[in-house]
Amino acid sequence: MNKAIFLDRDGVINKEVDYLSEPEDLELINGVIEALSIFQKLGFKLIIITNQSGIARNLFTENDLDIIHQKLRDILLENKITLDGIYYCPHHPDIHLKNGNIKFLGNCNCRKPKNGMILQAQKDLSIDFTQSFLVGDSLRDIQSGNLCGIQGFGVKTGKACIGLKNEGIHLDDLLKVAKYIKSHP
Ligand SMILES: [Mg+2]
Ligand SMILES: [Zn+2]
């Protein structure tokens, strides 16, 4: 069994942009490289779980998203960091969404606060939730982890931290979380 850090993407790894669709708009948040290095050295699998309803909204395609994620993997690899998985939800629950892509509209089990992405990662990578953590900048991130009994950390680097107050442990950013976990074995 493996231990893992489940990471929301926007506002945790990269700076929040409304519906990031261009690789050149991908900008890492300060301290993220160091944080991920710490997690990796501690033996955690690194798993991104991200809602990407921009696909259902027809703002970008799965192929566009793959290009952004390849760029992210490349930047991290230059720093000797390997992502063990990237899971995204392309859906949006509103079946009548204006200009939406019907293929991705409707309820699913993956869109956070549901926990479908975490469960899939557990299957693929044999994760022990009791040794794992989740980091997010919104309430639904933390709730998604809570459904699996995973300890959540809220960070203030995103724009969606409203509502997080009573959930999980709150720290400034991912680097603070890494240092916290390192010093609380
Ligand atoms: Mg976020
Ligand atoms: Zn979904």
Residue with tokens 């976990």: 181
Distance (angstroms) between ligand 2 centre and the Cα of 78 equals 31
The answer to whether residues 68 and 25 touch, using CB atoms and an 8 Å cutoff, is no
Give Cα separations from 83 to 6, 76, 160, 167 (angstroms): 11, 8, 24, 26
**How far is 70 from 47, CA to CA, in rounded Å?**
14
The mean pLDDT value for 94-120 works out to: 96
Span from the CA of 79 to the centroid of ligand 2 (angstroms): 31
160 pLDDT exceeds 70? no
What is the tens place of the pLDDT at every residue in 2-52?
A: 999 999 999 999 999 989 999 999 999 999 999 999 999 999 999 999 999
Confidence (pLDDT) at 122? 98
Q: Who contacts 175 (Cβ-Cβ below 8 Å, separation ≥6)?
A: 30, 31, 32, 34, 35, 38
Catalytic member of 8, 137, 141, 173: 8
CA of 179 to the centre of ligand 2 (A): 32
Is 10 marked active-site? yes
pLDDT at 134: 97
Domains of the chain in start order, with CATH, are 4-183 (3.40.50.1000)
Ligand (nearest to CA of 112)? 2
* pTM greater than the 0.85 cutoff: yes
Residue 8 annotated as catalytic:
yes
